[in-house]
Amino acid sequence: MNKPLKVIDLFSGCGGSALGFKQAGFDIKVAVDINKLASQSFKLNFPKAKVFSSDISTISSEELLKAANASSGNEVVIIACPPCQGFSTARRKSEAINDPRNTLIYEFLRVVRDIRPFAFVMENVPGLANGIGKPLFQDILKKLKELGYDTVYGVVDTADYGVPQRRKRLVLIGTNDSKIRLTFPKQTNQDPDLPDRYLTPWNTVRNAIGDLPQINAGEKSEKDPIHSASNLAEINLKRMAITPHDGGDRLSWPEYLVLECHKKVSGYKDIYGRMKWDSPSPTITGGCVMISKGRFGHPEQDRAISLREAARLQTFPDDYKFAGNTGHIAAQLGNAVPPLLAKRIGETLAASIRESKSFENLMTVSNNEAMPQGSFFQEA
C-alpha cells in the first residue's frame, strides 16, 4: 500500500499550507501554533492531526516526531511559516532588529536540525531575503548547508499561480537528498497586460466572488454564516456610495467627506478603495473586512468584502471551517498561506521526489480526490 510522506506544520495558523499539501498528496500529521483559535480551526479541518496549541520553543523535536508516528526524519516533510511582521517593509529598521518574533525562525532551524526531515518548505515575507532580514536569512541558509541541505529560494507572486490575489512571498525549499533536483512550481498564470503573454491570464476577483449573493454592510447571508459584512457608520456609507465602482478610490470624494488626516497627504490611496472585478485582489491582510485598512471595498456593493469573499480570494474552499469571531477569522485569513500556492509547491516537490526515485511509494492523488468540495477556483 502506498504511503505519503508525513507533514509536520510549524506556525501552522488555520491550515492554509496544510490544505495545499494535503491536496498535493501529503499526509498532514502534526501542527504547531501558539494561537488557540487558529489551532482550533486547524483541528476542525484536520481532525486526525495532532495539534499543539503552544509556544513552539516549549515543544521538543522528539515530541513532534513521535506525534507524526514517524521513526525518522526520512518519512517527514516540514512546512513552516514563522511570524513575519518583524521583517515587514512597514517596520523601521530599529524596530525590526529588536522584534522578538525574529528569533522564531531559529525554532524552525532547531526542528530541522533535530529531526533531519527528508525535505522542508518555509514561506515568509520578501523582506526576510532582500530587506532588513537579509543578514538573518543568510545565516539560516549557511546553517542549513552545514546540516547537509541543498536549497532553492525566491520571491513569488501568488497571482502567477492562479490565486486571485497579488501577494508576494518568499519561498525556501530544501532537501538532504542529493538525488533530488529542487525546482519551483511552473508559473501557470500571467499578467494579462504583458505584450508577450503566453499563459492563462491572472485569476480575478470576479471569478472568485462574483457568484455570491448580494448583502449590505452589517448583514449576513442566511445560507452562509461567514458571508457577512462589517457594519459601517453613516458617513462611511456615504463615502462608499460615492466611490466609483470597479476600482474607485477616495480621490473622487467631495471635500466634506475627506478625512482630516488625508487632506495633507497624497499617499495611501488604497485606503477606502474598491477592488477591481477583472483583476486579482490586493494582498488579503488581517484588516481585510475593514475599508479603512486598505483597498478592501467590494467592487460595486457599498461595503467591505465579507469573510467568505476574503476566504475565496485566499483560495480556501467554501466547506473549510473557521473558529472565532469576525476579527479572529479575518486575522487567520490574513496570516494564511493561500492553499492553492501551497498545493502548487507540494505538487512540484512530490514530482521532484518521484523523478529521483528517492521515495518510490510517495502517494499521488487525482485532482478530484485532492480537491475539497466547495472549492471555487479553476485549475489552469
Catalytic positions are 84
Q: What angle do CA 43, 49, 54 make, to 5 degrees?
A: 65
Quote the CA–CA distance of 239 and 244 in Å, as a whole number. 10
| DSSP state letters, 179-211 | T----PPPP-EE-TT-TT--SEEPP-HHHHHTT
Return the closest-CA partner of residue 240 out of 255, 228, 229, 252: 252
Beta bridge partners of 105: none
Quote the CA–CA distance of 337 and 137 in Å, as a whole number. 20
Quote the CA–CA distance of 94 and 140 in Å, as a whole number. 21
- What angle do the packed helices 339-356 and 16-23 form, to 10 degrees? 40
Quote the CA–CA distance of 82 and 77 in Å, as a whole number. 16
Query: What stretches of the chain show up as alpha helix (H) in DSSP?
Result: 16-23, 36-45, 61-67, 93-98, 104-115, 127-130, 134-146, 205-209, 234-242, 307-313, 326-335, 339-356, 367-370
Return the closest-CA partner of residue 258 out of 239, 277, 276, 273: 239
Return the closest-CA partner of residue 29 out of 80, 62, 78: 78
Number of H helices, E strands in the chain: 13, 9
